[in-house]
Amino acid sequence: MKNEEILDIVDEQGNVIGQAPRTKCHRNPKLIHQVVHCWIFNKRGQILWQHRSIKKDSSPGLWDMSCGGHVSTGEKPLETLLRELYEELGIKLPTLEFVEKYIRGNDRQTELIYLYYLIDDRPKNEFKIDADETQKVQWIDVYEAQMKVISKEVDATDFIFSQVSRIFQKVLVTSLGR
């Protein structure tokens, strides 16, 4: 594959122990690689969902978290997230809140996920989306989003289902000052 992305292979704490092509990482659950995920909320109680481009090699055409991506070799997770937010949505220098890092794997791959969120009140038409990455973005009421997730009414990546409670819990705890 020409110009294939090279990813750092890490241990469970995030220490780099090697490198491998992305396709190899996605075929071997022993190769832990890093990804960043970010959820965007506004002050009206809505969450921004991203509708993935049909050109994507994984989960094409599905709803997904607001922004995310693989941490490339030599990059730090926060560096990657800032780059992805700008490339995918045109967001420059956001105020990010770190939620947690955790391991998630299946029979194909294992990821060390760095989970963040941010507050951004711009209308959806003011995001500068990259058509190769995203078809569109949509603000959705947090309660409605929860109902759609619980009822499995949305055709979405499993990250929406697995991360919604994590991010909502963090936002709630942060907003209560705990």
Residue at 38 is within a domain: yes
DSSP state of 20: E
> Can you give the pLDDT at residue 116?
94
Residue at 19 is within a domain: yes
> Can you give the pLDDT at residue 1?
47
Task: Give residue 40's Cα distance to chain centre.
Answer: 10
Q: Which long-range contacts (CB under 8 A, 24 or more apart) does 115-118 make?
A: 115/37, 115/38, 115/39, 115/163, 115/166, 115/167, 116/36, 116/37, 116/38, 116/39, 116/81, 117/38, 117/39, 117/40, 117/41, 117/167, 117/170, 117/171, 118/38, 118/39, 118/40, 118/41, 118/91, 118/94
Burial zone of 40 (CB within 10 Å; 0-12 exposed, 13-18 middle, 19+ buried)? buried
Q: Under the phi-then-psi rule, with left for phi > 0, alpha for psi from -120 to 50, and beta for the rest, what region is 140? A: beta
SS3 label, residue 74: coil
> Can you give the pLDDT at residue 158?
74
CATH number, domain of 112, equals 3.90.79.10
Residue at 124 is within a domain: yes
Residue at 34 is within a domain: yes
Residue at 1 is within a domain: no
DSSP state of 124: G
Q: In DSSP terms, which residues pair with 100 in a beta bridge?
A: 115
> Can you give the pLDDT at residue 174?
67
- Spatial separation of the C-alpha atoms in residues 177 and 126, rounded to whole Å: 31
Per-residue pLDDT of the chain (178 residues; tens, 9 = 90+): 458 889 999 999 999 999 999 999 999 999 999 999 999 999 998 989 999 888 887 788 888 899 999 999 999 999 999 999 999 999 998 999 999 999 998 999 999 999 999 999 999 999 999 888 889 999 998 888 878 877 888 888 777 767 777 877 776 776 666 5
Residue at 20 is within a domain: yes
The residue range of the domain holding 57 is: 6-175
> Can you give the pLDDT at residue 148?
82
Residue at 14 is within a domain: yes
> Can you give the pLDDT at residue 72?
92
> Can you give the pLDDT at residue 62?
87
Domain count for the chain, please give it: 1
| Helix intervals (H) in 16-157 | 22-25, 77-89, 142-150
Residue at 130 is within a domain: yes
Any residues with CB less than 8 A from the CB of 165 and at least 6 apart, and which? none
